């Protein structure tokens, strides 16, 4: 596996020299969320926004539903937010959900899965699957796509694997924005004081057992079989150290016969908070994502 530092996630922090291992998950979460919300960006207009609480299989999950207009049978995007698994929520990624809704003219269902370490794998992913089933059953959309950024890109890819393996809903497109498709961290998620330690910290929060890092639903890049998955739009950032893993995943999808497009925005790091807020800096990549969604719909 190629080393990467998650530079974009470092930029979430007020002090890039601070080690996440020396802070509580609650402190990291607060810093990330505050950083995201401090980024000024326009708020895309949508027709309506409604908060729901989804209850399924003993799990409770908040979701937020965005509609571009009052038409029925619109296509649907299930959106899974990023934030290093420990952070991010319906509010931090409100602008991005609105942007996808407005740009693609589709209903967006944003999933407020339980952050780690309170929500250990597979709970957050199962909550996303619950939301996928609910969206198909309740919204009667023409087609459904899944989209996610960073950690959300990881879970969007994993969700497509899960839907395939469970003979679940047919997903029209997976949009992976700066995804993190591999949490194996060269064989350990214990602290090593090396370049992978930030990712190790995230995996440590998300997983109950280090061996779970090899689970395809945790590290989709390591799945033995990627055939039969939905077409993919993989959006990367040139200076993001997640880029190579994202490229590797896209190439494996192509090798498995999955129609896959790759786009790399030049000159930028991991979009992180700028992506969440749909800032002007992020809009080149987001326009590509929206174009892929409009084409498939």
Domain ranges of the chain: 7-296
| Catalytic residue chosen out of the listed positions 110, 116, 150, 279 | 150
CATH architecture of 7-296: 3-Layer(aba) Sandwich (3.40)
Q: Specify whether 93 is catalytic.
A: no
pTM over 0.75: yes
Q: Which whole number is the average pLDDT over 12-20?
A: 52
Phi, psi of 228 (to 5 degrees): 75, 10
Which of 81, 135, 270, 274 does the annotation list as catalytic? 270
pLDDT in tens, 29-44: 999 999 999 999 999 9
The yes-or-no answer on residue 14 being catalytic is no
Residue 66 to residue 159: CA distance in whole angstroms: 21
Catalytic residue among 149, 197, 240, 274: 240
Query: d(Cα 263, Cα 247) in Å, to the nearest integer?
Result: 10
Residue-wise pLDDT for 220-233, tens only, equals 999 999 999 999 99
Measuring CA to CA, which residue among 247, 250, 243, 244 is closest to residue 268? 243
> Cα–Cα distance between 55 and 116 in angstroms, integer?
20
Which of 82, 83, 80 has the alpha carbon at shortest distance from 63?
80
The per-residue pLDDT for range 126-184, each reduced to its tens digit, is: 999 999 999 999 998 889 999 999 999 999 999 999 999 999 999 999 999 999 999 99
């Amino acid at each position: 596996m190629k080393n990467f530092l998650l530079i974009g996630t470092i930029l979430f922090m007020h002090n890039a020299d601070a080690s996440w291992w020396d802070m509580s998950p609650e402190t990291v979460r607060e810093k990330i969320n505050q950083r995201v919300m401090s980024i000024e960006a326009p708020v895309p207009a949508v027709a309506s926004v409604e908060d729901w609480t989804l209850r399924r299989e003993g799990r409770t999950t908040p979701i937020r539903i965005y509609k571009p207009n009052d038409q029925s049978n619109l296509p649907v995007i299930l959106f899974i937010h990023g934030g290093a698994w420990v952070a991010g929520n319906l509010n931090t990624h409100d602008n991005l959900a609105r942007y996808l809704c407005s740009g693609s003219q589709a209903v967006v269902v944003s999933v407020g899965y339980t952050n780690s370490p309170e929500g250990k794998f597979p709970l957050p992913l199962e909550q996303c699957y619950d939301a996928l089933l609910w969206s198909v059953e309740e919204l009667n959309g023409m087609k459904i796509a899944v989209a996610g950024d960073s950690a959300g890109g990881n879970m969007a890819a994993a969700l497509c694997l899960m839907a395939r393996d469970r003979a679940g809903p047919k997903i029209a497109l997976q949009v992976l924005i700066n995804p993190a498709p591999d949490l194996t961290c060269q064989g350990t998620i214990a602290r090593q004081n090396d370049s992978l330690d930030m990712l190790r910290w995230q995996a440590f929060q998300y997983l109950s057992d280090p061996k779970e890092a090899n689970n395809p639903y945790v590290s989709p890049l390591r799945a033995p079989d990627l055939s039969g998955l939905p077409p993919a739009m993989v959006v990367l950032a040139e200076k993001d150290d997640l880029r190579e893993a994202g490229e590797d995943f896209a190439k494996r999808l192509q090798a498995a016969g999955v129609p896959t497009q790759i786009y790399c925005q030049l000159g930028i790091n991991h979009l992180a908070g700028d992506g969440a807020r749909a800032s002007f800096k992020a809009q080149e990549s987001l326009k590509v994502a929206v174009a892929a969604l409009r084409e498939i719909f």
